[in-house]
Structure 1
Amino acid sequence: MRLPTLLIAAVLTGMSGAAAPVDPAAPPQLQLRFHHLHYRVGDPARAMNHAAQTLGGTRILLQGHGVGVQVDEHYALFDRFQGEEPRSTPGAAEAYAEAVAWLQERGFSVPGDFPGARLAAVLPGEYLDHVAFEAQDLAAARDRLASAGAAPDSERDEAVLYRIPGGFGVELLAPGDGEDAFWCPMHPDVRSAEASATCRLCGMPLVAIPPPQIGEYRMDVTVQPAPGGRGASGLRLVIRHPDASAPVPSFAVVHERPFHLFIVDRSLDYFEHVHPEPAGEGAFELAHDIPPGEYMLIADFLPQGGTAQTVQRAIVTPGHDGPLMPPAPRLQPGPTDRVVGGLRIAIDAAELAARKEARIQFTMFDAVTGVPVTDLEPYLGAPAHLLIVNADLTEALHGHPVEQATTGPTVPFAPLMPMAGAYKLWVQVQRGGRVITAPFVIEVVER
């Protein structure tokens, strides 16, 4: 993802306010600007949701950096604790001041006023791992710190992290290359400054980024009891605007439908991909039998003139007599191939890593002959569909293949996994007019 470029509002020239003498032999100062605060927390999804709701920010996933919230031009990102939980942390303003002093001593120009105060105000008790700055020239910044005797704690092509006295980190990031004005409505993290660009994941032309909509769309759900009071015979869903709670008047058709709905039970054994029909005034209706139980509804839709939305809502259908909110199932990676609907589907998820661009690939064979299948049919405007969830259903990703014209035998996807851990997924393809669904469990690692 391209990182946004910002204007530096001020340069700290001296603690006293007076101009410091200029040494003509000194190397020129390198410009830095504040980019984000990076926290380590017990539950990244919960921390992200809390920050977004409190600040009215936008949930984001910065490729290679992590999940978090954008407020104005800055970010707070969240990773899970690795190993023992730290016991203390500097405050964000204190950490920023120490980072600025450390960098200025080594020849960098950094704004002295802390621009992330609004972000930090709602996260006072969280562990701040490091403060990140964008460098206009990352290679020159690396060289400057190396000449000053600073050794990196970790480094990648686009970022380098240093630990400074006190234990917390200072991270330098490669610069962005232009303000992103266009994005993919299905993959909002794919952005470009060019109007003619296309999505590298699904091939769709990028569209203009609409004005930000503060808050989240809401989905009201009415469960229609089945005859006899056991289970549901259907659902009525109403989508409401974040600001005025008014029903959304119109929706874009994406992959042949204006509304995609996944129904998954808490044990992750029940799975349905269905499409409620428009009923006017922001409402959709679904006639579908759902057994007694506790479910998560995962809705995927695109309001006209808005951005792609994934909204979740838990429901309990009539007749459910089990415990509410049971512990999440323990997911164990299982077989790497499945025989379903006349196909043997093999999965290769070895490349997947948290917050990294990587592919997951499915290969299709005829279950009887073993011959690779090359006659897959489009299903809802795509060669396949993929839903990925974590064990407690707090994370959900709906994706489509990166090769839009494939008919098999290989069907690759490029999901950007938000964090390490076990996930369950369902891949859906169509062959001979029949939709075939195969479940798998995978483990995503840190790299």
Structure 2
Amino acid sequence: MRPLPTTLGRALSASLALLLATAAAVLAAAPPAAAHGTLAMSTPAEGATVTEPPASVELYFTEKVASNAFFTITAPSGGRIDNGWTYGSPKSLDKPIREYFMVEGKFEPREYATGFPAVVSVAHLPTAGLYSVSYLSVASDGEAVRGTMSFRYNGKATAAPQGWSPPTNQPDPALVAAVEQHGSSGHGSTGSSTAPAASSPPPPAAAPAAAEEDGGVGWIAWSGWAVAIVAAVAGFLAWRRRPAPAVKRPARSGPGTRPRKASGSGTPGAKKRAPTAAAARKGDAAVTARTATATKATDTAAKAAPEPAESDVEAAPSGIGLSNTRLALLGGGLVVALLAGFGLGRLGTGDSATGAPVATAPAGVPTSPGGPGGLSAGDGHQHPAGTGAHNHPGDASTAAQATGTTVSAGGYTLQPTQRSQAAGAAVDYTFRIVGADKQAATRFAVVHDKPLHMIVVGRDLSGYQHLHPTMAPDGTWSVPLKLARAGGYRVYADFSVTAADGTQVPLVLGVDHQVPGAHTPAALPPVAAQATAGPFAVSMEGTPTVGVTAPMLFRVSRTGAPGPAQLERYLGAFGHLVVVREGDLGYVHVHPEMELVDGAVKFWLTAPSAGRYRAFFDFQVGGQVHTAEYTIEIP
């Protein structure tokens, strides 16, 4: 097999060596999934359908929730039907939960087989449909424990207790402050071995060592990573190993020596000529590196093979001889190492498909559908429709859920070409998203059918527009923009940029924009659950709650006509919701469901703080987009 040219071989070998070293470093540094005090199971179970009215909902966590934990149960109509909560008696979990703690710089697993319940009373069940349960607490290590779960009730409606009214209380400010303090302290989601005095963790149901010996897969996970790292390092060392000194064959000369034939002119049975002395002096290792025994075998094989061309026999300097075979083996070793580490690592985390114990997601992030803790997690507020209730990395701090208050975040900056325009004039608004390298980003993920969404709203929360700019090859975005009134505005760029390593970075960046002239701020409309958008009446249902992921439902009907309107998908979903906070104009995370839920468009809203907000609900009927606007006040 023909070796690669020296220069190319050296470049490829260096690149593969770097890849091997990087793989080993990544595999060695990759921490296991970690969560603390997470929701392990519930009664009713997540996604279950019940026909008999439950008197309570029992949520089983891997440790006792804080005494000031907060729980809500929301009916299909959006109203709360919870009636307080109490601690329950511990119970064995259906499936043990493995959590990881950082102890003296190392991750140590603890397996929990006992659940510690919070029993949330149900006041009544006003109708059949989907009920949502939300929770907020702080784990023993200070991490937020936040999420939702849902169940469907198909039984008869039950009456509310006499004198009972739907609760409107918000979480304890001390609980919210604890969540915010943890989220802003730089504490990672990997956990800590230090527990605050607020609550103490229960002892593990089984000691880590025993858990690993009794058929647990944790040792397989760690072994998998070890095997991958050893394979990568061994491959690297084998590649670097220099060959043994060559035993050179003396050049043959004298009578009987046949001249070497050109490429393609060899004849069957022609004997392969040994290299000349000049070639030997040049270090032609590909030909001269033979032992005396190998020489006979080579000469014998050469009798039945065509004579190789002179160009086919090249010098390969010692330690750089990277033939196609060695290149393939080296690349294959790298792939095997990566796949082995990934596959065994997945096995160790307890993939639900295997039925093994589950290694839960970071605290405060609900798990995937069908599992405890609610719905799937995401990396940012922008994502495909239907992701459901979830939080994001950094959402442990409720303040972090209001984005768009800065022009730079995540290493990217919003750079508009102009910062003002005349009232009533249509201009071509242009801008770039610039990375840390001072270059315009050009790789964006398509989210909700568009690579970037631009939201414009006045500082008095009027003049809302939802636009979709187009990008030129140089990374310059442009869109026609017309602002009728003088005053200050906020322009938000809502996008997910694809970084150099292929990862997606979801961001919302905001910048001020001015329209010169006399300006009188518009008064914020009063709080109301009903709004009109063109010929449609739109009702808003739900109870926004500070720090708690709460469902919000919107029902659209044609004014004066019975029944719901026939909604069409707009940007991949049946509706989109933008919520902006009064004052700092914080842009709040909101997540839509893919499908209608009991005839309504359902969103999940986590309010970052008390105060007033303006909500803008976009929906489409008959090919035309309409916007219903609401004022929300959270005490």
- TM-score normalised over the length of structure 2: 0.40
Paired residue type of 2:573: A
Closer/same/farther in 2, CA of residues 139 and 392 from structure 1, 3 Å limit: farther
> Which residue of 467, 482, 506 corresponds with 1:308?
506
Q: Is 1:382–1:400's contact at 8 Å kept on the other side of the alignment? A: no
Closer/same/farther in 2, CA of residues 138 and 415 from structure 1, 3 Å limit: farther
- Paired with 2:446 and 2:105, the residues of 1 have a C-alpha distance of 46
Aligned length in residues: 296
Secondary structure of residue in 2 paired with 1:359: strand
- Paired with 1:214 and 1:436, the residues of 2 have a C-alpha distance of 31
> Which residue of 175, 179, 182 corresponds with 1:65?
179
Q: Is 1:331–1:423's contact at 8 Å kept on the other side of the alignment? A: no
> Which residue of 618, 622, 630 corresponds with 1:432?
622
Paired residue type of 2:618: Q
Residues 188-203 of structure 1 correspond to what in structure 2 (within 5 A)?
Answer: 199=376, 202-203=385-386
Residue deviations 1:238-292 (CA, integer Å, cap 9, x gap): 1012x33322121011111101011000111110000110123332111222234
Per-residue deviation at 1:322?
Answer: 4.0
Per-residue deviation at 1:63?
Answer: 13
> Which residue of 546, 550, 557 corresponds with 1:358?
550
Residue deviations 1:349-408 (CA, integer Å, cap 9, x gap): 3x32111121111111220213222x1000011110000011114421253422x12298
Residue equivalent to 1:251: 444
Q: For the pair shown, which has the larger CA radius of gyration, 1 or 2? A: 2
Is 1:135 matched with 2:201? yes
Closer/same/farther in 2, CA of residues 427 and 193 from structure 1, 3 Å limit: closer
- Paired with 1:261 and 1:214, the residues of 2 have a C-alpha distance of 16
Residue equivalent to 2:633: 443
Is 1:381 matched with 2:572? yes
Q: Is 1:300–1:311's contact at 8 Å kept on the other side of the alignment? A: yes
Residue equivalent to 1:146: none
Unaligned stretches of 5+ in structure 2? Answer: 1-33, 37-98, 107-138, 145-175, 207-357, 379-384, 394-407
Residue deviations 1:283-338 (CA, integer Å, cap 9, x gap): 21112222343100121100122221111111113x33449xx8xx7756422112
Residue equivalent to 2:218: none
Paired residue type of 1:199: S
Residue equivalent to 2:517: 320
Q: Is 1:424–1:441's contact at 8 Å kept on the other side of the alignment? A: yes
Q: Is 1:260–1:275's contact at 8 Å kept on the other side of the alignment? A: yes
Per-residue deviation at 1:442?
Answer: 1.2
> Which residue of 371, 391, 395 corresponds with 2:582?
391
Q: Which has the higher helix share?
A: 2
Paired residue type of 2:186: V
Secondary structure of residue in 2 paired with 1:414: strand
Secondary structure of residue in 1 paired with 2:573: coil
Secondary structure of residue in 1 paired with 2:550: coil
Q: Is 1:2–1:191's contact at 8 Å kept on the other side of the alignment? A: no
Closer/same/farther in 2, CA of residues 72 and 224 from structure 1, 3 Å limit: closer
Closer/same/farther in 2, CA of residues 131 and 306 from structure 1, 3 Å limit: farther
Secondary structure of residue in 1 paired with 2:592: coil
> Which residue of 430, 433, 452 corresponds with 1:239?
433
Closer/same/farther in 2, CA of residues 251 and 365 from structure 1, 3 Å limit: same
> Which residue of 295, 305, 321 corresponds with 2:489?
295
Q: Is 1:298–1:312's contact at 8 Å kept on the other side of the alignment? A: yes
> Which residue of 220, 230, 241 corresponds with 2:415?
220
Residue equivalent to 1:262: 455
- Paired with 1:264 and 1:131, the residues of 2 have a C-alpha distance of 44
> Which residue of 399, 417, 424 corresponds with 2:607?
417
| Structure possessing the higher relative contact order (Cα contacts under 8 Å, 6 or more residues apart) | 2
Q: Is 1:345–1:362's contact at 8 Å kept on the other side of the alignment? A: yes
Residues 117-136 of structure 1 correspond to what in structure 2 (within 5 A)?
Answer: 135=201
Residue equivalent to 1:19: none
Q: Is 2:430–2:479's contact at 8 Å kept on the other side of the alignment? A: yes
- Paired with 1:198 and 1:358, the residues of 2 have a C-alpha distance of 13
- Paired with 1:382 and 1:270, the residues of 2 have a C-alpha distance of 23
Paired residue type of 1:346: S
- Paired with 1:224 and 1:418, the residues of 2 have a C-alpha distance of 29
Unaligned stretches of 5+ in structure 1? Answer: 12-31, 38-61, 76-108, 113-129, 141-176, 182-187
Secondary structure of residue in 2 paired with 1:135: coil
